[in-house]
């Protein structure tokens, strides 16, 4: 038996048996939720560059496109593209002041999400 097969055996039940009460309750709960907006948020920040941008925005009230470009070491065009996507997905918002465009996170929920994700990432990394 291969190493992968042995690992797979440890990750699956050896018999098929489920708790009907839990399954009924949670199936109903799951079917009532709209997961698409949440999946879209996670998809947006699953890109490392966009996560860096969101993290930087979580550390300041707002940053202009040029600031973000310097922080992530990218061009203004690339940075603007990512910021526009984050804005379109409801993660960031923008305001124009003269010739500059400033971005910030859309709300505290996004800031909390980034903070929790970063903390969890560190914990996973430390566990090895």
**How much is the pLDDT for 69?**
98
Instruction: Evaluate whether residue 36 is within a structural domain.
Output: no
Token pair for 77: 């065009």
The residue segments making up the domain with residue 54 are 48-128
Q: Which comes out higher in pLDDT, residue 124 or 5? A: 124
In a domain, 53, yes or no: yes
For residue 61, what pLDDT is reported? 95
Do 52 and 72 form a contact (C-beta atoms < 8 A)? yes
Predicted confidence (pLDDT) per residue in 62-111, tens digit: 999 999 999 999 999 999 999 999 999 999 999 999 999 999 999 999 99
Q: Could you tell me the CATH number of the domain that includes residue 128?
A: 1.10.10.10
The number of distinct structural domains making up the chain is 1
Percentage of residues in the chain with pLDDT exceeding 70?
93
- Domain contains 99: yes
Q: Within 10 Å of residue 41's Cβ, how many Cβ atoms?
A: 18
| Crossing angle of helices 65-72 and 76-88, rounded to 10° | 110
Q: Give the mean model confidence (pLDDT) for residues 50-71.
A: 97
In a domain, 8, yes or no: no
3-state helix, strand, coil in the chain (%, to 5): 65, 10, 25
pTM attached to this predicted model: 0.83
């Amino acid at each position: 038996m291969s190493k992968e097969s042995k690992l797979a055996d440890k990750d699956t039940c050896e018999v098929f048996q489920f708790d009907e009460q839990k399954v009924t309750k949670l199936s109903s709960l799951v079917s009532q939720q709209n997961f698409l907006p949440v999946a879209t948020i996670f998809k947006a920040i699953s890109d490392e560059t966009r996560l860096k941008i969101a993290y930087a925005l979580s550390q300041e009230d707002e940053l202009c496109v040029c600031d973000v470009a310097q922080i992530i070491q990218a061009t203004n065009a690339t940075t603007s593209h990512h910021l526009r996507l984050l804005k379109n997905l409801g993660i960031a918002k923008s305001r124009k002041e003269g010739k500059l465009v400033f971005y910030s996170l859309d709300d505290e929920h996004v800031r909390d999400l980034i903070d929790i994700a970063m903390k969890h990432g560190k914990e996973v990394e430390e566990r090895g």
